[in-house]
Amino acid sequence: MTTDTQFSWPVRVYYEDTDAGGVVFYANYLKFFERARTEWLRALGFNQQILNETHGLLFIVKRASIEYHAPAKLDDELKLVVAVERLGGASMQLRQEAWRTAGEQTTLLADGSVTVVCVSAGNLRPCPIPDDMRAKFQGNH
């Protein structure tokens, strides 16, 4: 990743994450990425439920693209990474990665781009990302 402001979140692979071959089912990377984005927002001080209740805002996924490089397996320890690639008026493009960590060795398993849009909870129409959030997304805490 090219940004200095990236966030990482640990995840362990459980039996429920794998297919019959003991490999993480490909769609579960979307779930892993979602969890990492949620924890990233929480680490910046933005609880998604509170944003909805107090500000009437939601973040919804508009687009997701993932490339797979190596399989994760049962009981692997993963590091999920989130970084802002582009910040628009009502949307942002995030770079996400899933790494297997085993001691000092790390292996890139999957990486992708996810575009999320800030919308009004009432009508689900795009609305501007609030300035306080924008500053934190840009690394200006």
Q: Which of 17, 19, 75, 111 is catalytic?
A: 19
Of residues 7, 9, 34, 31, the one with CA closest to residue 137: 7
Structural tokens at position 141: 């805490």
3-state percent helix, strand, coil for the chain, nearest multiple of 5: 25, 45, 30
Residues 6+ apart with CB under 8 A from 138: 5, 84, 87
19 is catalytic: yes
Active site residues: 19
